[in-house]
Structure 1
């Protein structure tokens, strides 16, 4: 078969390749970015699904509006307004996970050869998605405070990108949190250079001790003109359940209209059954308590992982201490003459019975081969301790 030429621009996921190695009994996996299924509010979601079918079966089992189930759109908009963002239901669409929002952005915004700026490192599927539509994706360096805005402005001037994609809050894979000062500066750059900034925020509610700074969407109220160049993507996957496959996108009117048109071609509408179920679940008022439980468990698991990384790997490793989210981003220092090849290190780790993800695929350009990602979210504390010990054996 003669496949589309665009497929030459993408590679299979490094995470998927790691998963192929996980069939060995007893292996401990820090590789996935999955929420812990044991923390799902099964009772609440079950009750919401029953309510959806008993009270709204005609809508839940039928086709629905491409833009999404209006009660759910209103609930999402209400939540965003409570965070300080001036959003109405008509200014967002419901998507089949936030991943579909990224795909719709690729379809509506990216032409072959267009430049797209992303954090280095960033969400692997974003790089793949935009490359599929022919983008030339360029990494902008980050530190523990998020993307380096001075370098970002230089790259905007050099590349004149079609869009900039960021995960400002507890990034995947970096775990970094963009500072308030940098958030405001990015909005100023968006307005000044008239370039679309995409804020992806799947992890913002998973904070440990204190809430993160306001989202770019919220702060855009303070930066004149920035809202015209801002798209915001959210998701229920990390805070309710990925099985619902529901996310949303807030965007300027013209972009939203084109995205809805492209979505109509893709899937007509996201599952009405899960949309009505999500709406009933939000109406039940159970989400805040469920979130608090997740925050507490993830925070403790992160602390356990960091403590044992310090004890077992010492100065052989540097990492960003997360303030929320699901990941620890680390790099091999080469201390004591050790290797800085993270891909080889991860491979040795699998041989020792523990899996992580090498960091190289998370960079569109300027690859750092010493890096790798670990997730503590779905691993019990005793397994985290044992897994870190196995990692130390792989040095």
Structure 2
């Protein structure tokens, strides 16, 4: 076939790096720090199994029939109560349940973004969101990340100079850097969104996985003009195989998302929503989260300690207070994607997400995202030792005079 049959969005999706991350994480011969995989040993298998059994045997609803495209009302009520307790006043009507937060990202982009519309993203950002956004052909504006979140001075300069429809941000344990947006920056972001008439998409799948420090208010709780749509997910706190997330926002947003969901999949799987509601009604989610936080904190500490001890000169790593990832910074000129494909994965059996996939411009190559939740601590330590040894050959040479 001579002419290109695939749409541009299909070609761009293949270049997003999502499939590579899953392939690396599912390759049992690799030590993979690539995908954002939870620890499968922590899935509540017995409790979820009982919850699904109960959905079939004890629920008066026909769980295999079509239902409300906004999702099971009881689960939305339970979730609304938890979000309200977390500081964001929410009713069941403010929520739509989706097939993971990933679908919610896609539906919000479909709702708002026309080709060429301005879209602000953190730089770097979640590559799965870029994969969703690319299908709607936005004009990207990258805002650098500081240790305390998006650089607000750079954001204001972009908003002053360009027409922007939406800001996408991950304020809590940002993917990929692990950074937490400060309260002052959260307040400033809302002020700027109001001033420049911009919608904010707040993606918070890691919010309830804080290991240390003080929990900060959500952007939606600070919203004064119904500009914030907030997303969450059960993938990181229960299990990704459930494929269940949510979007919350004002009624106009939820109504529009529900309309688009009709054209996407009609509704999320009802049996899963009933089972998750049963789990939350009959089990202590807070105790489960406490277990996750304790174990994930120990894994993060092990990875950071191994990196700090073994990384060669010129390489640095941060130490986040929660979430799933640490951010590895390499010296200028080191292409972490190229050396992973040519050397580190084939020779050392280690994989990660190179930074090039985490910028719309794909221009920053000297960094990497490392996941610490998926592997056990001995495997983390072995993988970091291999990675650090391999990186020695890419470290800058320190002149002898500098060592004296």
Residues 1:62 and 2:58 are matched in the alignment: no
- Among 300, 316, 319, the alignment partner of 1:318 is 316
SS in 2 for 1:199: strand
Distance 1:103 1:15, change over 3 A: closer
| CA RMSD across the alignment | 1.8
Contact 1:30 1:355 in 2 (8 A): yes
Give deviations 1:130-188, integer Å, cap 9, x for gaps.
11012122211001111011111111122221100000001111111111111111111
Q: Greater shift after overlay, 146-155 or 307-316?
A: 307-316
Whole-angstrom distance in 2 between the partners of 1:174 and 1:198: 18
- Among 232, 242, 245, the alignment partner of 1:244 is 242
Cα distance, 1:253 vs structure 2:
2.0
Contact 1:138 1:365 in 2 (8 A): no
Contact 2:165 2:199 in 1 (8 A): yes
Distance 1:366 1:144, change over 3 A: farther
- Among 375, 378, 385, the alignment partner of 1:382 is 378
Give deviations 1:344-393, integer Å, cap 9, x for gaps.
33232212121111111101137321011110101111111110110022
What residue is the counterpart of 2:400 in the other structure? none
Residues 1:349 and 2:344 are matched in the alignment: yes
Give deviations 1:193-245, integer Å, cap 9, x for gaps.
1100000000011111234311112233xxx32xx111001111100111111
Residues 1:121 and 2:124 are matched in the alignment: yes
Alignment length (residue pairs): 386
- Among 296, 305, 327, the alignment partner of 1:329 is 327
What residue is the counterpart of 2:17 in the other structure? 14
Distance 1:241 1:193, change over 3 A: same
Gaps of 5+ in 1: none
Cα distance, 1:87 vs structure 2:
1.3
What residue is the counterpart of 1:145 in the other structure? 148
Q: Greater shift after overlay, 52-61 or 8-17?
A: 8-17
Whole-angstrom distance in 1 between the partners of 2:302 and 2:84: 36
What residue is the counterpart of 2:163 in the other structure? 160
What residue is the counterpart of 1:285 in the other structure? 283
Whole-angstrom distance in 2 between the partners of 1:331 and 1:146: 17
Whole-angstrom distance in 2 between the partners of 1:141 and 1:82: 32
Cα distance, 1:250 vs structure 2:
1.0
Whole-angstrom distance in 1 between the partners of 2:104 and 2:7: 22
Distance 1:383 1:247, change over 3 A: same
Cα distance, 1:57 vs structure 2:
5.7
SS in 1 for 2:230: strand
Whole-angstrom distance in 2 between the partners of 1:218 and 1:251: 10
